[in-house]
Amino acid sequence: MPVFNKILVANRGEIAVRIIRACRELGISTVAVFSQADRAALHVRLADEAYEIGPAPAAESYLRIEKILDVARKSGAQAIHPGYGFLSENAAFAAACAQAGIKFIGPTGAAMEKMGSKTRARQAMQSAGIPFVPGSTRGLTREEAVRVAAEVGYPIMLKAAAGGGGKGMRLVRDARELASSYDAASSEALRAFGNGEVYLERLIERPRHIEIQVLADEHGHCVHLGERECSLQRRHQKVVEEAPSAIVDSDLRRRLGETAVRVAQAAGYTNAGTIEFLVDAQRDFYFLEMNTRLQVEHPVTELVTGFDLVQLQIHIAAGGELPFSQQDIQLRGHAIECRIYAEDPENNFFPSPGSITRLLAPSGPGIREDTGVYQGWNVPLEYDPLLSKLVAWAPTRELAIARLQRALDEYFIGGIRSNIALFRRILADAGFRRADFDTGYLDRMLAAAESSTPDAESSLVAALAAAVFAANGSNGAARSPMVPVPDSGWKKIAREESLRES
């Protein structure tokens, strides 16, 4: 079995740091690549070697296959881990690695080609007898979309065949909206993916988004590691993930898992992958898509299974067999992950680049933080604004929520805006605490908050003020309206940061 002495990490940010740490535990040297904007990045500091590959724009650095392969040759790296995003689902990159005699830590280019296109994946699932959401199995012209939509029945979703992350996606309620929505979806898909192909599927009202983690070695063994609940999304992008799902019982888990394994086997898939499903109110499920890479939310699966998915990816890529069978996999406890972004929820979630002037990271029982930043780091504008992933594990979902709330209260990022306060709202929400939500839940929650009028807020403030006055002035004596409370260190730091920025 081949052994990797050196692995190149073709990524940046928290996932590059995550891979470097996994390699270090295995005694494998690491090679980082970086753009000019990332010269001082954390993954560059942690790697054994680091090479600049171009200017800040990803198209001139992290997406340049020939530059990355050139670094691999120069450094003597025997394998490349692509992380997620960038080139992680690029079949041409996987094929170029194979041609260069460098192991791509992921599936083959052929499997990626089959499952990377949403339409080709639907065709493959149709042949394999896997249930999927009714709709087209190939890209459609606008005229074809009109005909197929009438056959499938409104409402429908238009989706980019090469898409992901909510790009190239449009909800169409009736035929009057179809033409303009089709043009918008196709145009957005072309800009985002260089491919304007659009297909459609029937809208499943208020579904749960449940995904299954699979692992397949190169010796024909394939297992699943249970499910992740990914229904809390903003504009089709995941915000909070957890494992296991509160709505999935042992029977549904078995059926989802067995179907996911069939999907992977039908694709001739190897290494780590994720099969995504929609689950309706009757708990019927439909194949949605396959992600042919490591997922952002993989830590929640690691915490409830006890397996290191990155190290298993490396083990499989090195020719190793899976070290366990399906019967060996047990889910223990509950894990919840929050994606911490440099963005401003009060300003339409606009990115918030800039210098991190103060950073206080949470810790304590059951808390894990996967991060790619440090105090003094300048968050660039050119890339996805993900700063870290904050994850809590506990024996029960209720305690996991409590631990995550405590950790969020400990978390402080100064100098830039972040979405930490949004997670405090989500975790305090009654629907979330009951696990009573669907893929549109967070959008509805945020819309309801935005629709609250200043008059209503003013009335509430006035009522509270009146109540305080009545309580404190009922005996006619002058009283202090509030009992003095000692300053906390967190408030003091926040004041220092506001003074620094003013």
Active site residues: 293
Q: How far apart are CA 30 and CA 42, in angstroms?
A: 13
Q: Nearest CA to 163 among 113, 122, 197?
A: 197
- In 10 A of CB 135, how many CB atoms? 21
Q: How far apart are CA 322 and CA 379, in angstroms?
A: 38
Q: How far apart are CA 366 and CA 405, in angstroms?
A: 12
On whether the CB atoms of residues 139 and 198 are closer than 8 A, the answer is yes
On whether the CB atoms of residues 337 and 298 are closer than 8 A, the answer is no
- C-alpha 421 chain-centroid distance: 18
Q: What is the DSSP string of 321-386?
A: PPSS-GGG----SEEEEEEEESEEGGGTTEE--EE--EEE---STTEEEEE---TT-EE-SSS--E
The residue whose two tokens read 């692509």 is 82
DSSP character at residue 269: -
Q: How far apart are CA 370 and CA 3, in angstroms?
A: 27
Half-sphere exposure of 173 (CA within 13 A, CB side): 0
DSSP character at residue 167: T
Q: Nearest CA to 298 among 312, 287, 285?
A: 312
The residue whose two tokens read 């992680």 is 88
Residue 110 phi, psi dihedral angles, 5° rounding: -65, -45
Q: How far apart are CA 15 and CA 43, in angstroms?
A: 9
Q: Strand 343-344 and strand 350-351: pairing?
A: antiparallel
On whether the CB atoms of residues 44 and 50 are closer than 8 A, the answer is yes
Element of type H or E holding 83? none
Residue 191 phi, psi dihedral angles, 5° rounding: -65, -40
Q: Where are the alpha helices (DSSP H) in 194-235?
A: none
Q: Where are the alpha helices (DSSP H) in 210-308?
A: 250-266, 298-305
Phi-psi region of 415 (alpha: psi -120 to 50; beta: other; left: phi over 0): left
Number of helices and strands in the chain (H, E): 17, 22
- 272 forms beta bridges with 215
